Homo-oligomer: A and B are copies of this chain.
Amino acid sequence: MIDLLIEHIQEKKNPTVMGLDPRMDLIPEAVRMKAYEQYGQTPRGAAEALFLFNEALIEATFDLLPAVKPQIAMYERYGIFGVEAYYRTVLHAHKRGLLVIGDVKRGDIASTAAGYSNGHLGAAPVEDHRYMMFDEDMITLNPYLGYDSIEPYFADMKEFDKAVFVLVKTSNPGSGQIQDMLVGDDKIPLYEHVGRLVEEWGEPTRGWFGYSEIGAVVGATYPEQGSELRQKMPHTFFLVPGYGAQGATAKDVARCFDKNGYGAVVNSSRGLIGAWKNKKYADYGEEHFAEAARAAVIDMKNDLNSVL
């Protein structure tokens, strides 16, 4: 799957991933009203608004992007209706040839992890049949429970050609509270310890381009750690959040790439899907929010390519 992701990046000449993290305040009134007309001002109506917003964003940008990354929390907010909108978003992205990184950050003990794996990457057993359910191409995982919380995904990853990204160093301001603790005899930060494990876990799954199917989440808001991890994890593909609204620049994220300009995808959520609220793209107007997102994607692509 990481090979396929790299091919998509090469084809689109763009390592940008659009984060589909819709919130009601980012969705133009006309889209919300259209959804409410059908389902009322209800959670079902709100979920429909999330989907319509995503659908328009995907339609306006799919030719430019290798992948999108819906953040499932934004959908779980609206209960089962929201989760259905998440599922429909994955389907629609696939319809437009986009790969989908499900930002679910799951992490649980083995028997339980198999449930997540079947539902998100593999297939769910019903007597003698199996059914693919959410069917994301890649998902994010949390490493706090150790290897036996990651290993259960391997079978589905192999059978269905999927990949995962394990949280190593996250982009949030408080990530250091746990992740920067110095550990072990050699007093390395915990994120580096986790990074080494991820590099090791991925070893048997390396593909054509040298990257394994066990990627890492490395926040662009900590560029020095990014450089360091890039060096210490040469076979691990990075998913890099934090560009744009969270404050990281193209120069910051450049450190997460390899010398050939590959090795990472960079996510932006608000900066792209909420571009119409940004002064820079204000001329598009609320009505043309999707075109504003397209312009922001092109700007981000050019910005990233200028440093790679």
Binding site for B on A (CB under 8 A): 21, 23-24, 32, 36, 41-43, 45-46, 71, 73-80, 82-84, 87, 105-116, 118-120, 124-129, 131, 133-134, 142-149, 167, 170-179, 181-184, 190, 193-194, 197
Contacts and interface: CB of A to CB of B under 8 A. Distances in A.
15 contacts: A32-B127, A45-B126, A71-B115, A73-B116, A76-B116, A77-B114, A77-B115, A77-B118, A77-B133, A78-B133, A79-B133, A82-B119, A107-B142, A107-B144, A178-B194
A116 B104 CA distance: 11
A126 B172 contact: no
Given A144-B167, A174-B145, A134 B79 contact: yes
Looking at A36, A75, A142, which has the most chain B CB atoms within 10 Å of its CB?
A142
Nearest to A177: B146
Q: How many copies does the complex hold?
A: 2
Q: In terms of DSSP, what is the predominant structure of the interface of chain A?
A: helix
A171 to B, nearest CB: 7
B109 A170 contact: yes
